[in-house]
Amino acid sequence: MRLTGGQVFDPEHGFQVRDLCVENGKIAADAQDAVRVEGCWLIPGLTDLHFHGCRGEDFSDGSPQGLAVMAEYELSRGVTQICPAGMTLAEEQLVQICRTAAAHRTAGLPGAELVGINLEGPFLSAAKKGAQNGAWLQPPSLSLLERLLEASEGLVKLVSVAPELEGALDFIRGAAGRVTVSVAHTAADYDTALAAFQSGARQVTHLYNAMSPFGHREPGVVGAAADSPGVMCELICDGVHVHPAVVRATFRMMGRERMLLVSDTMRAAGMGDGDYTLGGQAVHVTGSRATLADGTIAGSVTDLMACLRTAVSFGIPLADAVTAAAVNPAKVLGIYHRVGSLDVGKDANLAVLDQRLELRAVLFRGQVVWGSL
C-alpha cells in the first residue's frame, strides 16, 4: 500500500509531503495500490509510558481481561505501544500486576503492544504522595525491585523514587543499570535532586506535579533536571495538570529532545463523568478533571493523542509534540529500533490525522485497525 499526498513525519526534518509505503507489516521503500491521503498528517503510532487505566479498567487491578480492554482502547486512540503504570500497592498486588502483564505479552492478544511496566510507587514521599495510597509507601528496596523484575519476566522498564528517602541514592545507583529510574512524588530540593541525577536517575515523573514548585531561589527538581543533560521530563498536557504557559516554557527550557508527553490516565478515560477509583481511593470526575475527595488532582482522563492535540493548541509545534509522544518514549523504552518513527524497515504502526488533528485511521503492523483510509 502506498499512501500518497500526505504530510509525513520525519524526526530530523519535521513534515514532508511524500509517499509512505507499507508492505508485510513494515514501512517499505516501495509499494503498489496507491491510497490518497491529501491534507492528512501521517505520524508514528504513539507510545504511552505512563498511564494507569481507561474504559473502566485499571492496571493496578491485576485483571487479565481489564488489561486486554485497556490495550484495545489505547490502540483505537492511535497509541500503538503501551507501558502501563502501577500505583503504590502491597507487594503481593505489585507481583500480581507484573505477572498479569507478562502473561498478556506472551499471549499476543489484540490491541496496542505492551512493551513495559512503569512502577510509580511504592518508593515515594508521604509529603508529596498525591493520589498514591500512603498506607503502602516504603523505603526504596533493590530486593523488591528484583522480585518484581522476575515476576514481570523483565518487563519492568521504569521505577519512580523520591530521592530524599533514606537509601534512595544507593537504590538509584543499584537500579540504574537495570531500569530507568525516575524522580517522582518528592519534596527534594535542588541539591538532592541533582545528586539523584548524578547517581543515575534519568527521568522525572510528571514534571511539576507532586513536587516542590520551580522557584527563583529554590529551583527544586525542575531546576536540577534542567541542569542535567540527558534527563527526560514527563509532562501531562491535558489542560488540567500544567498551565499552557508552563508547557511552552518547559519545551523551550528542556528542548523537544528531552520531553515526554504522557497521559497519566485513570480508569475513567473513555468514560463519562462520575465516581471511580484509583489505587483503591475514591475519585470524582467532572469533564476533564479527576480529583480525590480533598480536591487533589488524581490522574487524567485525557488519552495521549488528545494530549498531543492539546499541546499543539498551546502553541507547541506539531513536530515537537510528535517527537515527545512517539519518538522519545520509544527511545526511553529501548524500542526505537523498530517503532517510534516512519523509517523504512520499522513496524508499520502509524496514525493518520485529518487537518484538525483528529484521528482518521490507525494502522498497526500494516493493517487498518481503526477508522478508514
Q: Was 24 annotated as part of a binding site?
A: no
Read off the pLDDT of residues 202-214 as tens digits, 9 standing for 90 and up: 999 999 999 999 9
Q: Was 328 annotated as part of a binding site?
A: no
Q: How sure is the predictor about 167, in pLDDT bands with cuts at 50, 70 and 90?
A: very high
Q: Was 299 annotated as part of a binding site?
A: yes
**DSSP 8-state code for residue 359:** E
Read off the pLDDT of residues 21-34 as tens digits, 9 standing for 90 and up: 999 999 999 998 99
Residue 306, H or E segment? helix 304-313
E strand segments, 162-291: 180-183, 203-204, 232-236, 259-262, 274-278, 281-286, 289-291
Q: Which of 145-159, 292-306, 322-336, 355-369 has the lowest mean pLDDT?
A: 292-306
Q: Was 234 annotated as part of a binding site?
A: no
pTM: 0.95
Selecting among 238, 264, 303, 320, the annotated active-site residue is 264
Q: Is 264 a catalytic residue?
A: yes
Q: Is 367 exposed, middle or buried (0-12, 13-18, 19+ CB in 10 A)?
A: exposed
Read off the pLDDT of residues 213-242 as tens digits, 9 standing for 90 and up: 999 999 999 999 999 999 999 999 999 999
